[in-house]
Chain A
Amino acid sequence: MKTVLIIDDASFMRLSLKTMLERNGYKVIGEAENGAVGILKYKELKPDIVTMDITMPELDGIRALKHICNYDPNATVIMITSMGQKTFILEAIKHGAKGFLVKPFKEEHVVETMKKLQI
């Protein structure tokens, strides 16, 4: 079973994603409230996949993404974004994010993304 680390400052979003992922055969092995904790948890838990929110306190998603991709060039990071964060997503893609989901998203979007990216 593929393992997932969810990085998002909103507990509600983390719960939503976790619910959707676990319903589709993924195992959420960790959660983090901001980019800084996210990086630490990535190194500690070595998940197969990371979902990364962009707007977070302490350390935002783009910087955390850069750290993680630097640390592990094979990292699979999916960005979670809102409409209007276009420049951030572009930045994220350039720095190694494998895909992105736009809020509000439905479970089928999550499934589609994971399936197609073969993760």
Chain B
Amino acid sequence: MIDDEIVRKAIQGDKCAFKILFNTYKLKVFRTSYLILKDKQNAEDALQETFLQVHLQIHKLTNTKAFDVWLYRITVNTCYSLIRKLKRFDVISMDEEIEHIIPSGEVNFYIPDDIVLKKEMQDLIIECIYSLPVKGRTALTLFYFNNLTIKEIAKIEACSENTIKSRLLYGKKIMKDRLMKDHREVVDYIYGGVICES
């Protein structure tokens, strides 16, 4: 987390403090945008637009301790805005699709560590994330990459915590199904099929 004083100075218009904010978060915002947009050039655009908005809006930020969440909210909104412009996805309809598909519940499973370390397995996980509807992908990104809590993600997405949980569960369910289906032979070969459920 960034030092509170630096955020406060940035709010007051301190150029140096803003530069520190930019340098501290530039890669994180860039990579977050990439995970949501699946495109490097668009992620660059999102990064620039996000920090432009930060520059324009930071004087409105009242809670300096909430800077992270506020920044990622701008990042996500910027990405959604770009997606709409690109007309790649209909954000709303994809969101509804998740909520209808996945009931509340738990999807926990364990994978042998040898397999997790295999590039093939990691690629498959990433492929699964990229195959998710944008809101599910965003939830997974914010939870696993930005280490935000479900409560914080719900605030960013302006929805209930249960909705976020559903999106995370949906993502994990997709992954589990893919691993069981596409990776079965690897699992069988090495350990006789031991993707464990709990």
* A and B: bona fide binding partners: no
Q: Which residues of A are interface residues toward B (Cβ below 8 A)? A: none
